[in-house]
Structure 1
Amino acid sequence: MKLTTFLSVAALLSSTALVSADTLKWARAGDALTLDPHAQNEGPTSTLAHQIMEPLIIRDHTGAIEAALATEWGPSADDPNIWVFKLREGVTFHDGAAFDSEDVVFSMNRAMTPDSDYKELLASVKEVRAAGPYTVEIVTDGPNPIMPNNLTNLFIMDKDWAEANGATKVQDYEGGEDTYAAKNANGTGPYKLISREPDVKTVLEAFDGYWGAGEFPLDVTAIEYTPIQNPATRVAALLSGEVDFIQDVPVQDLERVAGTDGLDVRTAPQNRVIFFGMNVGDADLANDNVDGANPLADVRVRKAMSMAINRDAIKQVVMRGQSDPAGMIAPPFVNGWDEAMDSSSTTDLEAAKALMAEAGYGDGFSIQLDCPNDRYINDEAICQASVGMLAQIGVTVNLDAKPKAQHFPLLSNLETDFYMLGWGVPTYDSEYIFNFLVHGRDDKYGSWNATRYTNDDLNAKIVSLASNTDLEARNADIAAIWEVVQDEAIYIPLHHQVLNWGMKSNVGTIVDPGDAPKMKYLELN
């Protein structure tokens, strides 16, 4: 089986030429939800955006930070509450407009508005200001030690283009709003948008005015991006040559793809955890059979449900070995990850039944599980397996699986009581997890926290992370927050995903741990 590891760079770059011309035909299970760069903080959405638009700072395919629209950055020598970014000069947007500091100020202010799904990344920001045509200052509420980490997926728009096209406001995706920016784009990235048919095909072509010419391979001169939800159809398209590259090879087809001449499977651990979330805060649930009470509000029930999940069985049977059981909702890449916590999930049906009885639910209860069927590797199959496992402790689960475009608004609109979610951490720091998933939901934080959990003391400690420059003390606070998260069991960790990219053998690339290929790095040999 030709599985190459994350570090086998040399082997990856010695492939034989198979991609015809320089057009890369790319497929994955689901489409981007929108082209509005600030509306949805969702993996496939930001991955497509990365081809068209750019942040100030970017991560390459190893996960290392490098310059993009900013060339240098650092805290101000005069004020530790100010980060100074020097911008790249001579950059143009796809329509020929010049890029400057006004575009950065506009984009960051836009990303801090209520409908933005990126506002948590800028929650500590008090002001963004232009200190010159190519200098931007970000003023924070106390020194922010990881501000650059927060900007790697924060895309910059053309202020004049947005104003001319009525796109100054972020699309209200959860509210069903459709906007010009949802289907059109004008970025500074290596590829410009040619056509867009949501859930059908998106066509991009190389931007001949790209500033990075000569700095990046840019061997791919055109991209045809096609979402193919059905796993068998997706693999068949790769095997037949209809597509050149798929991000999510189904685990049951790994050997078949890897054993085909001219095709490779390349694999790496992903910076992502898959888990279940629960409505722990409401007094009563809409989707259970218990009147006047919320069984998920009892931590004993939550822990029992976690103990009923056999993660090793999911790994072996559902994932065919392509996952690593998880005990916390942080991947090993992330500052704050703890090996003991991540090894803490155990399957113990007798202990789980005892906890259910102690909580007053010895006879069990029924509840609906909301699950996507086109977002994570074998997502619906994982949910199906979990239904049987939870039944062993009396929890009858009614599974409702649907495409991510219908699934994610359930979380945003607080219309689910029990749901699957996966979470990657592009900042490589636990603060990102806490800001989005643990802090109580308000106008700055908690936009992906559908658990209704809130804890005032914990919220304050989470906010303080953004201005704690004593890294030892900050790490101690992170550890203390994780202790509470683990004790409260507001999430049921399942596993860390393993990435399997399938492609024609002449595509030279390593696997990005964020599952976000940036086509400007690819080499066609």
Structure 2
Amino acid sequence: MTLKRALAALALLGGLGAPAEAQMTLRIAMTASDIPTATGMPNNGFEGMRFLGYPVFESLVLWDLDRTDRPAGLRPGLATRWEQAADDPKTWIFHLREGVAFHDGAPFDADAVIWNLDRYFRNDSPHFEAPAAGITRARVPLLATYRKIDDRTVAITTTQAASYFPYMAVYILFTSPRSFAAAGGDWSKVAALPAAGTGPFRITRVAPREAVDLARNDAYWDADRRARVERVRLMPIPEANARLAALRAGQVDWIEVPASDGIPSLKAAGFAVATGSYPHVWPWMYNIGAKDSPLKDVRVRQALNYCIDRDGIVALLNGTAEPALGWLKAGDPNFGAPQNRYGFDPAKGRALLAQAGFDAAKPLRFGVMVSTSGSGQMLPMPMNEYLQENLKQACGVEVSFTVVEWQVLLNSGRAGPDSPSLQGAMALNISSPSSDAGVMARYFASDRFPPNGFNFPNWRDGAFDAAMTQLAGSTDPQAVAAATRAAHERLVDDPPWLYVVHDLNARAMSPRVTGFVSPQSWFLDLTRVGMK
């Protein structure tokens, strides 16, 4: 979308000269190139979950976003409590909240839970939704079976004992069964109804490529968390400069990822620019499994991690990121003590490449699939172009790019290593949360190759798998921490990714926006936000 086209669309969607009602709407510019799907399991990665997931469609377990002094944990959601069954650590019992209704008045109960689980996990279900199932299964790869115990209780059994399963359950969202029935049993028509969830906001209008409008749910089950703002408008504006121009023109109130070179002028003009450290990493995911991948050699993977100038990327982003030396941040107590401490060391990088057979006469060459924008991608084209030149100058590595839309890139992350859809790419630039052991398991465990997880590299490391097995089977905090450290040390020393930066979750807002708090989480609590 060009800047001119983006601003023209904004003028029609609540910009300058809009009616007073639209002016009182909190208007948010997302990085996505289209609105997330609106049937109850949004696409567009975690940006879709951030804005059209949890605010509208909730899960049994929710993120606790009240604290800012530590990474977000979990809190009760549509379930008031949960526990592992006394006779089977693979089975989790969820006790459902009383008195909850979907936005369309349908009751939330065990039947609704089973109906939604069938939607995601039962291919022969009459209401199976393939796109939503693909997203959910990749995020919750351990789910095996489930059953209703009574109207307020359900049991979910996993394929293996996993102490971190609640951190996976947080990604199962619930839609009213009446939404599907009202659309004549056609998921492609559900969004236009619109679809009903249980969250603090309800959808009122869906306009593909333009906007989704939300309204406060005044009957929300948690009276203490009813939203302050009456309406929210979500708009996809993938170009950073277009988002910046829209904010300056008063056509939106909030933008995700402001263009880094515009941050000083925004602050000077009185706009608020929020940043905060949180568990998230911007990497290249190596394609180790491809037949002729040069990245099968661990020395090549380590070399690339020594060849990049992370401080230069941070400077490019005007300080809105910090160097990534592993999947976790270097100051995280679970980072461990790996043998490798990555930094900008071209000599060491070139030496490792030479050991692997690559030098000036035979340079390392490979392609990377990247996106123009998207969830957590910050400014992907300038960043990737910087890395391209950096690798060429520092270590003689020649990188080419295949540029696609964000959702196409996400879909590629669930492809096989030699899939034609990858167009020969030996790495994917997909940002990732690093919030918990459940995420670690589905990105790196050797039994989580796509489509059963997000281990796109097809990476195998026996010591990592052993540590994750120990972690999954233990509930002792000290044992869990020790296993997490051991696992992370392997992620550094036998790297499946090129670790570039941890972003600082930058967003800019009009002075009219009040009450925003930046938790240490990819997600946020829109109910605390107001307008003046």
> One fold, TM greater than 0.5?
yes
Alignment of 1:105-504 (within 5 A): 105-112=114-121, 115-119=133-137, 121-140=139-158, 144-162=162-180, 165=183, 179-180=188-189, 185-212=195-222, 214-261=223-270, 263-284=271-292, 294-316=293-315, 318-331=316-329, 336-338=334-336, 340-341=337-338, 344-362=341-359, 363-375=362-374, 376-392=377-393, 393-414=395-416, 415=422, 416-425=425-434, 428-442=435-449, 445-446=452-453, 448-455=454-461, 458-459=464-465, 462=468, 465-504=471-510
Unaligned stretches of 5+ residues in structure 1: 1-17, 169-177, 285-293
| Distance of 1:80 and 1:361 partners within structure 2 | 49
Question: Residues 357-395 of structure 1, C-alpha deviation per residue, up to 9 Å, x if partnerless?
Answer: 221111203222211121211111111011011113222
Selected match of 2:83 from 64, 74, 77: 74
Does 2:53 correspond to 1:54? no
Alignment of 1:508 onto 2:512: no
SS of 1:224 mapped into structure 2 = strand
Partner of 2:531: 524
The residue aligned with 2:129 is none
Query: CA RMSD, aligned part only?
Result: 3.0
Write the deviation string for residues 8-60 of structure 1: whole angstroms up to 9, x where unpaired.
xxxxxxxxxx9986421111211454234447482111112122111122224
Indicate if the aligned counterparts of 2:244 and 2:258 stay in contact, CA closer than 8 A.
yes
- Does the 8 A contact of 2:165 with 2:438 survive in 1? no
Provide TM-score, normalisation by structure 1: 0.83
Report which stretch shifted further, 203-212 or 112-121: 112-121
Question: Deviation at 1:266?
Answer: 1.9
The CA distance in 1 between the partners of 2:183 and 2:350, in whole Å, is 58
Whole-angstrom CA distance in 1 between matches of 2:247 and 2:121: 40
35, 45, 54: which one pairs with 1:42? Answer: 45
SS at match of 2:325: coil
Q: How many residues align?
A: 483
Asked if the contact 2:59/2:77 (under 8 Å) is kept, the reply is: yes
Higher mean C-alpha displacement, 457-466 vs 307-316: 457-466
Report the CA distance between 1:462 and its aligned residue. Answer: 3.5
Q: Is the 8 A contact 2:464 2:486 kept in 1?
A: no
AA at the equivalent of 1:194: T
Q: Deviations over 1:123-163 (max 9, x none)?
A: 44443222221222233456543333323332112235446
Task: Read off the aligned partner of 1:364 and give its amino acid letter.
Answer: P
Larger displacement relative to structure 2 (461-470 or 307-316):
461-470
**Residues 163, 334 of structure 1: alpha-carbon distance in 2 compared, 3 angstrom cutoff:** farther
Change (3 A) 1:442 1:328: closer
- CA 1:116–1:254 in 2, change beyond 3 Å: closer, same or farther? same
Structure 1 residues 483 and 64: alpha-carbon distance in aligned structure 2, compared to 1, 3 A threshold? closer
Query: Do the aligned residues in 2 keep the contact of 1:113 with 1:119 (CA within 8 Å)?
Result: no
Structure 1 residues 77, 356: CA separation in 2 closer, same or farther (over 3 Å shift)?
A: closer
Q: What's the TM-score, normalizing by structure 2?
A: 0.82
The code of the aligned residue for 2:46 comes to G
Q: Within 2, Cα distance between the matches of 1:130 and 1:197?
A: 37
Output the CA distance in 2 between the equivalents of 1:207 and 1:217: 7
SS at match of 2:134: coil
Residue type of the alignment partner of 1:469: T
**1:203-222 deviation digits (Å, cap 9, x = unpaired):** 1222343223x312512111
Aligned partners of 2:457 and 2:496 also within 8 Å: yes
* Cα distance in 2 for residues equivalent to 1:138 and 1:508: 37
CA distance in 2, matches of 1:191, 1:72: 23
Identity of aligned residues (%): 24
| 1:48-93 deviations in Å (ceiling 9; x for gaps) | 2122111122224332433321223334466655433222222221
Offset at 1:505?
Answer: 2.4
Alpha-carbon distance, 1:498 to partner: 0.7
Counterpart secondary structure, 1:34: coil
Q: CA deviation at 1:511?
A: 1.2
Segments of structure 2 that go 5 or more residues without pairing to the other structure are 1-19, 124-132, 417-421
Q: Judging changes above 3 Å, is the alpha-carbon distance between structure 1 residues 521 and 341 closer, same or farther for their aligned structure 2 residues?
A: farther
Matches of 1:97 and 1:217 in 2, distance apart? 19
Whether the 8 Å contact between 2:274 and 2:508 is mirrored in structure 1 is yes
| Alpha-carbon offset, residue 322 of structure 1 | 1.7
Partners of 1:41 and 1:233 lie apart in 2 by: 19
**Is residue 336–residue 430 contact of structure 1 (8 Å, CA) maintained in 2?**
no
1:71/1:150 Cα in 2 relative to 1: closer, same or farther (>3 Å)?
same
The CA deviation at 1:423 is: 0.7
Secondary structure, counterpart of 1:439 in structure 2? coil
The one-letter code of the counterpart of 1:505 is: P
Inter-CA distance 65–332: structure 2 relative to 1 (3 Å threshold): farther
In structure 2, the partner of 1:26 is 28
Given that 1:366 and 1:396 are in contact with CA atoms closer than 8 Å, whether structure 2 keeps it comes out as yes
| Residue in structure 1 matched with residue 127 of structure 2 by the alignment | none
What's the CA shift for 1:424? 0.9
Contact 1:387–1:396, Cα closer than 8 Å, also in 2? yes
